[in-house]
Each structure stands twice: as structure tokens, then as C-alpha cells.
Structure 1
Amino acid sequence: MTSLFVTLSLISDFVIAVTGTGNLNAAESLVVLLTSLAVYVLWTRTTFAFAALIPAMVASHLLDFFMLTGLTMPLVLGAVAATAHRLFSYLALAVAVAWALLIPFTSADFGGVTWIIVPFISLAWGTGMFVGYNLERRQQDRLRIAEATRRAAHAGEEERRSLARDLHDIVAHNLTIISMQALAAKYAGTDEAAKTAVDVIGSSAGEALIDLRRMLSLLQAEGIVAGDQEAAQRELGEGASALDLEYGAVKFGRMLESLGIYTTVDTGGLEQDIPQSVETALYRVLQEAVTNVAKHSGEGGECRIDVHTRAGQLELAVDNTMPSNGSAMRVGWNSSGSGLIGMRDRVDAFGGTMSSARDGQWWRVRAEVPLHGANA
């Protein structure tokens, strides 16, 4: 609104000068016209407006008329300081001060006006810089809020993916055992074999239920879902945790034995001060690896599970024999590869390494996670 008022005022003065009804002569009218154009350009960009004001500044010195240019200069300079780049703002200030300081050398009548214009120019420029600083801070605050919102959304998405992966790891292993034992019970040749398969099904279903309950308790204890946190912590602390590596290795070994896969388990030398997060991550990797063994290793095959600590690393090795050529895998258990991806994601999250490859008739899985200084 200020620029519009000044523009209309200057144009009015110019019209008066042209019609000869005012006190301005032709030279002064030219300065009025140039100044009016500069203020009008202020509606587009402040840098353009200051550039358009330069002809008026030159004309004011040549034609010895500084009144309108001196009044317009602080307005344009303040707008430049508030909105333009800092370097341009300093350059504009230098030009404006130089223009004001030259007045005593080019005009005998307006020499004293310099000491009035210079303070106005300085005040306008300082005010503009203050406004620009606040505008910049407001913009930075908006960007920070937008970035924080984006990060919160990303963290929420990652948390949902992690929860989905945990639920998959908890349920998939036991459901694999249940489904395969149900198939074994269906084709069991004796009542004793069918009874054994049903016992394994019941045990696996119970393990899955315990895992789900403990995961819910963990989520409640961490405040992710509503619930009694004290009761959740109490349940997590009872007995051998479902996420205890040594306990899990023995449990999974027995499950593989029940499928007819000869399994050896070595957990000697495990330290007792393994961080819970690291142990949980390796437990899930072990669980997925054993699930893959159950899917792909033929009956009568072999599996070796080795968990130990060495040189500040928690190391896991799962080796199993592959079915002989021509042997069919268990129907319905062709791997999509998503399990290996989830395993690598877990190990990578802690700055560890993982590999899985065939070695002759063996399939070998290796995972190493640093005990301390993990990335997670």
C-alpha cells in the first residue's frame, strides 16, 4: 500500500509539472518521472526497482533536483534490504550512501541535505535488514517444521515395517513347523507317529502364543501400545526370555530334530552382557535361518547351529545340507527371498555383516554384529 501511495503521489506531481499548473520545470519533471517508474517497478522485484532508481539518482545530480529521489531512496533501499540477497543489499547501501555524499559536490543549493538523507538511508536499510532477518528465520522455522514432520512420518513408517517384520518372524517359524507336522500327521503310518506330530503342533502353537504375548508386553513396556507397563516388565523378566539366543538355539534345534533333521547346537562361550537389542536382532536372524532350514532341508539332512562371541562380535553360523539332486522340496515352501532381505536389514541396522551362500552340498548363513558401538 505504501508503494502504491508513493507511486500515485509522484505520478500526480509529474502530471502537474507537464501541464504547467505546478511549480516544477521540465528537468525536475524528468526526475519525477524516473523516480515514479522506479517505485512502480517495486511491485515486481525490489532489485529491479533499485536498478530502475539509478537513472533517477544520476538525473538528480545532473539536474540538481534531489527532493523526490531523496524521499524515495529509503523506501526502495529498505525493501531491498528486507527481501534481496545480502550481497546485493550491501551493494545497494554503498551506492545509496555514495549518491548522498556526492550531493555537496554537485549542488550548491542542496549540499546540506546530505546530513538528512544519510541517516534516513541508514535507518531504512537497518529496518529492512531486521525485517529480512525475521522473514528468513520464519522461513527456516517452516523448513525445520516440515523436515521434522517428514522425519516423524518416516520414523513411523520404519516402525510399522519393523513391527510387521517382527510379527512375521514370530509367527512364520512356528506356523512352518505346525503346517509341516500337520502334513506329517496326515500321512503318519502309526498312531504313535501321529501322536508325536500332534504334540509338536501343540508345542509350536504354544511357543507362538508365548512369543506374541511377550512381544505385546515389550510394546506395552516401551509405551508403543497402551497397557500395564509394570505387568509387561514383570512378564518380560520371568524365566528364559523368548528372545534369549542360547535358549532359542536349543529350542530351534529340538524343532529341527522333530522334523527328522539331525541338528547340533553349540552356544559355548556366550557372554552374559550382550546388549538386549543385539541379542534380539540375532535371535530373529537365527529364527528365520532355521525356518529356511525347515523349508528346504530334506528329511535325514544335517544342520549345525553355532552362536558365540569373539573379538567384540556376536557371531551366528547356521549350516544345513541341501537336498540331493532330483529331490523335491517340501511342497508350498519355495522361498520368495524376503526372509533373507529381512535378515540383512536387521544385521545392517546394527552395523554388522551377513552372508548366505551355497558351499557344495551345504547352505551356509553367517551373521556378525558388534556387541558395542552398534549403529542402532
Structure 2
Amino acid sequence: MVSSAVALRRIVQRYAPPLLAVVVAVAVWASATGDIGVPSPLPGAVVLLIALGSAWAAGTIRTRRWPLFLAAAVGWLVLAASAAGVLASYQAGLRLRGRQLAGYLAGAAVALAGGVLVGLAVGGVRRITTATSGNVLLLAACLVGLPLVFGLWVRARQDTLAALRDRAERLEREQEARADRARAEERTRIAREMHDVVAHRVSLMVVHAGALEVTAVDPGTVEAAALIRTTGREALTDLREVLGVLRQAGPAVTPERGLDAVDELIGESRAAGLRVTRQDEGVPAALPATLGRTAYRVVREALTNARKHAADAETTVCLRYLPDGLEVLVRSGPSEGGSTLPGAGQGLLGLRERVELLGGRLEAAPVDGGFLVRALIPLAGAA
């Protein structure tokens, strides 16, 4: 419905000027021949010239006004033709303001008075039509008053709609500003809570791990404490970066790791006690940065889940280079059970959305007593 109205409005705006010119020309000619007005004794060539001039003035009203006002005065004084005068009065109400409108009214009064004088001089039907007091008042109302009032009403309506649009846009901008402030306040609140709670606890963990590393006698305990301390410090560094992003008012761009950091991920998992091997299949090629970051996230999430739920199982990371993309497989073998770390279960959901945004697909399901995470990321979606 809205598109149809817009299309109709465009058609009207495009074809209204030539159509209006034709209507004015026909009306002036019909008035001079006596079909809708007073018959004129002037030659047909003169009538045709006035009709064509009135048509041209009506067709150019969007760019200039004075030709139409002149054509209205000439048409009324020479032929007693009212078509151009009605259109001129409407355009005056629609476009003129202040002194310009007062000047038009004065000009219209002069033209009507001139029409009275011409009617008195010509006599006959012209005198009865344009020079009698009752007809003069009626003509003034029909030629000037009513079209002028209608033009003023249309202009007032346009001004009201423009004011409403401006108000709506201003309210929308204010609402967006309030939403931005609310988001900024919420980000700041989240950052503060994360700093007060998470950072504090991780700092305590690092401190206690450092103390245990210094005081412990058993080499295995010392190594585990050093790993906990190093991992805790890295977690604090990552947490500071996240807090910095949350505290920023605008969108922030933080560098993310790609495929070149997969070996580092595997090394961290091995240091944590996970048995991980890597396999590459196909011919390695330069891949888009978006694809590399997504593949890195798949491997990171899969290894994190393996450490949580199958720390004693063998895990294989396979990167399969395909002609049209990259396939990432992370398979965990059967686990003997034992303690597992709690998880929210949202990591794979977010990861699936990220992969699907690139036109790929992600599968995560138990396989042969273990667990398989498989992501197929096409080059087309990451380009």
C-alpha cells in the first residue's frame, strides 16, 4: 500500500505540469469560443497565441511564477478567460508569503477592476458577465478567494506535516541518544562488576599460585603452580582488554588471532595436561582474515570444552584446506570420566552463529564415545 502511494505520487509529480498545461490551454480556448465563457470577437490566431502562452506559463510554474500571473491578467482582460487566474490564485496561496502575497492580491484587484472597465467598454454579454456588481463579487470569490484559501490550506497542511516529521526525527535521535547512554552505562556497570569480582578472584589465584610455587618442595607441584600463575596472569591481561572494550563509548576494534595462533593454543592445552595432536590436510593457502579468526575461535572453543569435560582423552585438531574453503575438525576420544568444570553451554551456540554468518555450518555431536566439533567455512562468505 505504501509503495503504491509513493509510485502514484511520483507519477503525479512527473506528469502533472504537462497535463496542467494542456488543461489550461483547452480551458482558455473554450472560454474564447463561448463554450465555457464569453465569446471573443478576436481572430483565432490571437486566441491560440494566448492559450499557448497560458499553457507554457502553467507548465513552468515550478521554476517561475511571474509568467502565470501575467498570463492570468492578459487572459482575463483580453478574453475574460479564468483558467489561468484560478491556477495563479492557488499558486499564490501555496507559494507566496507576506508582502509577496499582498502584492498578488493588489495585482488581482487591479486585473478585476480592469476587467470591469473592459466590460463596460465592450458592452453586451461581456458587460453583463464582468462589469455588473453582483458578478464582479462572484468572480472575485471564484477566481481569487476560493483558490487562494485552498492554496493557503494546502500550504498550512504541508507545514504541519513537515513540522511533525521534524519532531519525529528529533524524537528518534533523542531516543537513540538515550539508548546509547543506557548502553554505555550498562557496559560501564558490567565492566565495574567484572573488575570487582572476577579480576579480584583471579588476582588472588595468581598470588596463591606464586606463593605455592615458592614454598612447595615437590617438583610437580612447583610446575603446576607456575602454570596456574602464568595462566592467571594471561587471564588478567585478557580481562583488562575486555574491560577496556566495555568502557569505550563507541565501537572498538580489537585485534583477534588467526590460524597462525593455533599452535599456541595447542601448546597451552598441552601445558594444561591435554593430549593434543595437530594434522593438516591439503595445500595450505592464504585465507581471508575473517576466515582465520573464525577457525581460531572454533579450535579454541573445542579445546576449552575438551579440557573441561574430557581432560584425559586424546584430542586431534585437523585443518583441512579445501579448494573453496577450510574444514576444521576437533575430535576428542573416549574419556574415563572424572571431575569436569561447569559450563554455560553458550559457547557452541555463539560459535555456530558466527560460522553461519560466513555461509558455513558447524556440527557438534558425540562420536564413538568421544566428541566431534566440525566447522566448514567457505571462502565466498569470508571474502
Give the TM-score normalised by the residue count of structure 2.
0.48
> Max radius of gyration: which structure?
2
Give the TM-score normalised by the residue count of structure 1.
0.48
